[in-house]
Amino acid sequence: METRKVQVTGGSTYTVSLPKGWATDNGVSAGSVVEFYPEDGSLLLTPKAEEERTEGTLEITGLEGEELMRAVVTMYVSGFDIINLETPRVTAAQRRSIRDAAQRLVGLEVIGETGEQVVLQDLLDSSELSIVNAITRMRLVAVSMLDDAITALVENDEDLANDVVQRDDDVDRLWYMTSRVFRSVLRDPSTATAVGVPRETCFDYHTSARQLERIADHATKIAELAPEMGEIPEEAAEGLQELLEVADAVAETAMDALLEDDADEATRLANEARERVDIVDERAREADKLIRELDPQQAQLLGLVVDSLSRSADYGGNIAETALQKAAPKP
């Protein structure tokens, strides 16, 4: 760490010198323009960057299916605006996987193709992406998926179960976008200014988005079990509905706390959500007692459902913990 003494020039202007090593490494010299970003009690300084798209190249020889799709997602989340995928010969299967990956990602489109290359570009600017809107939408979709998954299970509705599974792609799409914005904010302070959210708050939202994505995964798991379940006894169905109700309340209250600007109200809501996790545990034990008396195979499957609902409530509890940290006084 280096220190500098603040000087006064012209009677009213504060000046401070830059470390020469840092300036040289970052191409800053006499006449260069630097940018300042106030953040709470700190002032971030960075060389003024030229407006240009970040471009990356990935060799995809031997990559297929899910592995290739994960590679595209990784490049997107890492912040590349233009992604060049190269190989001596792009196969038809690879092209399909690349297009499938692009459809999972907000703003990413195929803009060029040859026999040896596929070029993807993110057509949205970070300033056009709202991380708040993204997690708000994730909340709505994830909670509705959980509700509909239990409805599909109890009513033996295979169409509704399939719809829940398909909606998981919407949550994943928003999760990847949130991760991309968060990483951009970490790398470049100007992105935090563009999205209008402080970097520390972006971290809180990114952490909570991960919990919502996991809730959606458990809703999908329940929906995939629905066709195997058959008719569920009324008493067991009521137990699952009661468990769902309190699990929903944890996630909803925790998200209210996270998005609440008033620190005292946010703390109250977050503590309320945490207390409801204990109620979920009680309801889960009650549901388990009802399930034990059923056919062994059905009991085993319903046990997985109870576990998914309990875990979803735990993820809501994690959001509440994040909300408490967000609302806490800053040092």
Query: Tell me: the pLDDT tens digits for 254-301?
Result: 999 999 999 999 999 999 999 999 999 999 998 888 888 778 888 888
pLDDT classification of 316: cutoffs 50, 70, 90: very high
Does residue 29 have a pLDDT over 80? no
Q: What is the pLDDT of residue 305?
A: 94
pLDDT bin (cut points 50, 70, 90) of residue 124 is confident
Average pLDDT of the chain, as a whole number:
87
Read off the pLDDT band of 252 (50, 70, 90).
Answer: very high
DSSP secondary structure string for all residues of 109-166: EEEEE-SSEEEEEE-S-GGG--HHHHHHHHHHHHHHHHHHHHHHHHHT-HHHHHHHHH
Query: CB-based contacts of 140: which residues, under 8 Å, 6+ apart?
Result: none
What is the CATH architecture assignment of 129-327? Up-down Bundle (1.20)
For the chain, which residues make up each domain, given as ranges?
7-47, 55-126, 129-327
d(CA 292, CA 302) in angstroms, rounded, equals 9
Checking if the pLDDT of 227 tops 90, the result is: no
Give the residue among 315, 204, 207 at the shortest CA–CA distance from 260: 204
Quick one: tokens of 257? 């706390």
Partners of residue 47 on adjacent β-strands: 34
180 φ/ψ angles, rounded to the nearest 5 degrees: -65, -45
Helical pair 199-229 and 296-327, crossing angle rounded to 10 deg:
170
pLDDT at 330: 80
pTM for this model (two decimals) = 0.84
Q: How confident is the model at residue 61 (pLDDT cuts 50, 70, 90)?
A: very high
Copy the structure tokens of residue 270: 């977050």
Please name the fold of domain 55-126: Translation Initiation Factor IF3 (3.30.110)
Q: For the chain, what is the radius of gyration of the CA atoms?
A: 25
In the chain, the amino acid numbered 188 is: D
What average pLDDT does the segment 23-27 reach? 67
Greater confidence (19 vs 153) lies with 153
Buried b (16+ CB within 10 A) or exposed e, 234-253: eebbebbeebbebbbbbbbb
